[in-house]
A and B are shown apart, each in its own frame.
Chain A
Amino acid sequence: MNSNLIWLVALPLIGSAVAAIVVRYKFLDRLITFLTFATTLFVLFSVHVGQSYSWGLNFLGTTLNLTLNVSHLSIFMLYISIAFGTVLTFYSLIDHSRMKGFLLLLILAANNWIFMSNDMVGFFFAWELMGWASVVSVLGGREREKSRHAALYYMIMSVSGSYSMFFGIFTLWRLTGTFSISANIAYLSSIVGIHPWWVLGIVSLFFVTFMIKAGIFPFHTWVPLAYAYSPDAFTPFLSAVMSKYGIYGMLLFMPLSLMERGFPSAFGGVPWTNYIFVWIGVITAVLGTVLAIFQDDVKKLFAYSSLSNLGYVVAAIALFTPVGITAGIFHAFNHLLFKGTLFITLLAVISRSGTSKLSEMGGLWKKMPITFFTFFVGIASAAGIPPFNGFGSKWLIYQAMIKQHLPFATILLFLASTGAFMYLFKAFHSIFLGQLSHDYDRVKEVSAVGKITEFFLMFAMTFFGVQPGYILKPIGAIVKSMGLKPLPVMANGYVTGMFSNIYVPLISWSLAVSFTLGFILFFVSAKHKYVSQENNYTAGQIPEDWGLTPETYQFSWNFYQPVEKLFAPFFRIKIDGFFRGTGDWTKTIGSAIKEIFVGNAQMYAFFAIVGLIIFVIAGWMA
């Protein structure tokens, strides 16, 4: 019995209650949020693998055993989520968006409960708490109407996912008579050889929920809406931490694929079910990338980018090989770090410029140099450029895919990676490079708190890029706990996949030496003088004669027009044809259903509760 585990859930709840009381004073609300996050992180230091806590809940004459259990996977997820939350809430002290701190603390409580829970009732309850708190958090973006719509959409997706999981939980409970997650998974793996389709059906019910939460194709549609229209300070948490709940859930059920002898294996010794899932991940990665290239709203662009990165993670963990799982979890961590950083810098940029439209920004690098560098390191990480942190995991993912002899999936992932470079550069150019509009002449760099956060994040991205061993070792423990052989990681930087090895610090040294040489060559060669941004080569024309201003002399609209032409047939078929057809069909059915329902959110919530009660009663009667 380790009562410190209960504090991980109780402390954020208490903090949330206090913050909710003082929510009118924004700074106080944010301060309590930050302090609670920091304290929770402090409490987490006393938590170790193997600790557990359980208590009985007497519910209508039946005793429910709620159990908290700390596994290798849960402690890893707890550390990365709470640490990132602490950084984010520290930054949010100076933020002015309408994020509510107490909601974030509710999500933190749910977060800790989800990662520690070993019973499905607690898991479901925490999942719902997280879902509802995040839906309410999405409300209150800069554009009220759109964020309301986004929240509603997110809620409907979330609720349908919850129904699916609820159904799965009670099906399992009928079969085993227990809510314990580990017992149920053990049961499933014992019958998977005899009834593979049954197991697949039950696990699919859970996976629908996890795929919705992680935003995996075909359940990705809520992601761009919710990310783009949520409060700017909440988006980093949504993208960095909350998308990982789905990945965590998937990882819980993944060890089943070890036993999947019931299914014939597809190519490269991957079971069919996993093979399909690999392709779902690959499609998500490519789809996210291609759609991100054409976005003009920067938050939407990075929402699609998150989609794409989670596709990578799913493709890697679905392989269920030592390299695959390591690469997947490592990429999940790296995505948390660099996408969190990118959204935090976007928060800084949007708060200073007041817009999230790429075509309205430009040239901000001279005004916000530290944010510029943080963003640069962020996109370098996201593009997988060494020595920053995204490189190791992308490299491992390719190794994992190739090891299973899946060249086509790998080629598509490579395409997604090249495409990622395109949209990242588009965002980079349109925000920071190019001509600075005179509207932004008075834009200032973020204040000291923001600078500290940005320096810290830059350091973290470089550190985990140069020394991936600090993350790969705990991941090795996770891989071992799943019954696989962990990858050898030596001296914190020597990574060996199946096909080749890299010693990451060596790359950094090589870069350090070559940059030194580059700088020396730069400074010994002839002098240069700095000129203003208007001092450009314009082929002999005088821009003022045409009435050109910095805004009009900035290339950011229709950035990848040739690519758009290239993908135009696909867009016509996929979006206009398929989705509109589906949309019309849904509309027809929807309007039929609308005859019965009134169509406001309260009614949906009411029906959700009625549905829940029916399920519970059905569970009791059976």
Chain B
Amino acid sequence: MTILLKLIQGIGVGALSIAVGLLFIGIGRKITARIQRRYGPPPIQNFFDIFKLLSKRSISHGFAFDLGLIAGFSALLAAVVFLPMGQINIFPHNSSLIMIIYLMTMAYLGMAMGVSSSGNPNATIGIARALTMMMGYEVPFAAVIFSVYIFSRTGSLANIVAAQSGGFLNWNLVRLPFGFVAAEIALQGMLGEKPFDMTIAPSEIASGPMVEMGGKYLGFGMLQHSIGLFIETGIMVDLFLGGASNIWIFIAKQFVLYFAALMINAIMPRFRIEEGVSFMWKFPLLLGVVQALIVVL
């Protein structure tokens, strides 16, 4: 009975993360449009897009292509159930942050396998850039994670949230400010927003990984992006913004983080890959290391 309950809860959380992620992207499109003095699409445009894409006939490059895209979507869906979000915490004793990060890696591997098996070099160049960028932002992010681990004396997201309870001043945002700034810059890279959007550079490599995707494959890609957005901002909320008492506050906090990322995205040009990585290894890593030193000493 409990298994069935957990199953339903898990599916519910997955659906919620998809819905919230799609809504965020939709609002993001609107905000970006307004910054650029356009009218912009309605915020729920992405729901129509998904419905349209999933119902369109498309071409595929073989079973590895299919499987890769399904894995990209499903592995993130599997990761999101371990994320504590407000009062919704399906597996409270299994929210190890490193486990969630490694589970997300499965999605990236699946996605990379799928689009590369299409045989289009643009897709592979995009993946190579994404992996390079990943090496860039994961190092400062790791520095922040391990600082928080040592600071909170726990590696489980649920316990990290619990350690921050009792008001704004207990948030890691206040207690570990350098770590927060470093993680915020790393988040920009994680979300693939400008100035770190070289992975999907439309004019250079024809949108990189998305080049061979059409119809439902593009739909799966969009779903993956929306869950990824949800998990990445959610991890940040749990790590630094003290979690939340209920799901709506959680989503509001996530949106604040996404909004900040959007603002930077709207006004920034794009780094070259090696510039992006070396930027990540200079300022954010420095901040992360300073934070780690403060925590350890």
Residues of A within 8 A of B (CB): 267, 363, 365-366, 372, 376, 379-380, 383-386, 391, 394-395, 398-399, 402, 405, 407-408, 410-411, 414-415, 418-419, 421-422, 425-426, 428-429, 432-436, 497, 499-503, 506-507, 510-511, 513-515, 517-519, 521-522, 525-531, 533-537, 539, 550, 553-555, 559-560, 562-563, 565-566
Contacts and interface: CB of A to CB of B under 8 A. Distances in A.
Given A499-B149, A499-B154, A433 B124 contact: yes
A468 B7 CA distance: 24
A129 to B, nearest CB: 41
Contacts of B98: 395, 398, 500
B82 A510 contact: yes
Given A395-B96, A500-B96, A515-B70, A562 B272 contact: yes
22 contacts: A383-B109, A386-B99, A394-B102, A405-B150, A411-B142, A414-B146, A422-B131, A499-B153, A500-B98, A500-B154, A507-B99, A507-B103, A517-B11, A521-B54, A526-B54, A526-B55, A528-B66, A531-B59, A531-B60, A535-B59, A555-B128, A563-B274
Contacts of B149: 402, 499
Q: Which 6 A-B pairs have the closest CB atoms?
A: A499-B155, A518-B74, A500-B155, A414-B142, A500-B156, A555-B121
Given A408-B292, A515-B70, A522-B216, 6 more contacts: A365-B117, A407-B143, A407-B292, A531-B61, A555-B124, A560-B132
Contacts of B56: 526
Interface string B263-290: 0000000001110011000000000110
Contacts of B249: none
Contacts of B60: 528-531
Contacts of A395: 96, 98-99, 102
Contacts of A565: 274
B96 A502 contact: yes
Given A528-B57, A562-B273, A562-B274, A518 B73 contact: yes
A531 to B, nearest CB: 5
B35 to A, nearest CB: 29
A429 B153 CA distance: 40
A135 B140 CA distance: 43
B124 to A, nearest CB: 5
Contact of B132 (A414, A501, A503, A563): A563
B54 to A, nearest CB: 4
A342 to B, nearest CB: 15
Contacts of A433: 64, 113, 116-117, 119, 124
Contact of A410 (B113, B124, B134, B146): B146
B47 interface: no
Interface string B123-149: 011011101101100110011001101
Contacts of A528: 57-60, 66, 215-217
B91 A506 contact: yes
B55 A434 contact: no
A537 B211 contact: yes
B77 A518 contact: yes
Contact of A376 (B75, B113, B128): B113
Contacts of A553: 119, 121
A407 B146 CA distance: 6
Contacts of A502: 94, 96, 99
B119 A434 contact: yes
Nearest to B66: A522
B129 A562 contact: yes
B278 A566 contact: yes
A510 B289 CA distance: 35
A536 B118 contact: yes
Contacts of A398: 98
Contacts of B69: 522
A537 B206 contact: yes
Contacts, number: 247
B62 interface: yes
Interface residues of B, number: 88
Given A414-B142, A502-B96, A566-B274, A434 B59 contact: no
A172 B62 CA distance: 63
Nearest to B275: A562
A537 B212 contact: yes
B163 interface: no
Contacts of A525: 54-55, 216, 219
Contacts of A534: 119
B296 A405 contact: yes
A379 B110 CA distance: 12
B112 interface: yes
Nearest to A515: B74
A421 B131 CA distance: 8
A536 to B, nearest CB: 5
Contact of B109 (A363, A415, A425, A563): A425
B20 interface: no
Contacts of A411: 139, 142-143, 146, 288-289, 292
A83 B288 CA distance: 44
Given A386-B106, A407-B150, A501-B156, A527 B57 contact: yes
B132 A422 contact: yes
A391 B102 contact: yes
Contacts of B74: 511, 514-515, 517-518
A379 B106 CA distance: 11
Nearest to B64: A365
Nearest to B142: A414
Contact of A566 (B97, B119, B277, B292): B277
A408 B155 CA distance: 17
Nearest to A384: B102
Contacts of B23: none
A421 B93 contact: no
B255 interface: no
A65 B58 CA distance: 75
B113 A428 contact: yes
Contact of B295 (A394, A407, A510): A407
Given A522-B216, A555-B121, A533 B103 contact: no
Contacts of B89: none
A415 B135 contact: yes
Contacts of B295: 407
A562 B215 CA distance: 32
Contacts of B296: 267, 405, 407
B119 A380 contact: no
A15 B103 CA distance: 46
A366 B61 CA distance: 10
B206 A380 contact: no
Contacts of A503: 91, 93-94
Nearest to B80: A514
Given A365-B117, A407-B295, A510 B78 contact: yes
B199 to A, nearest CB: 12
A533 B61 contact: yes
Interface in B45-95: 54-62, 64, 66, 69-71, 73-75, 77-78, 81-82, 91, 93-95
B94 A511 contact: no
Contacts of A376: 113
A367 B142 CA distance: 39
A562 B132 contact: yes
B107 to A, nearest CB: 10
A429 B142 contact: no
Q: Counting chain A CB atoms within 10 Å of each CB, which of B91, B131, B277, B295 scores highest? A: B131
Nearest to A423: B131
A499 B139 contact: no
A503 B156 CA distance: 13
A514 B74 CA distance: 5
Contact of B94 (A379, A410, A506, A514): A506
B142 A410 contact: yes
Nearest to B97: A500
A295 B64 CA distance: 25
B36 interface: no
Nearest to B131: A422
A383 B105 contact: yes
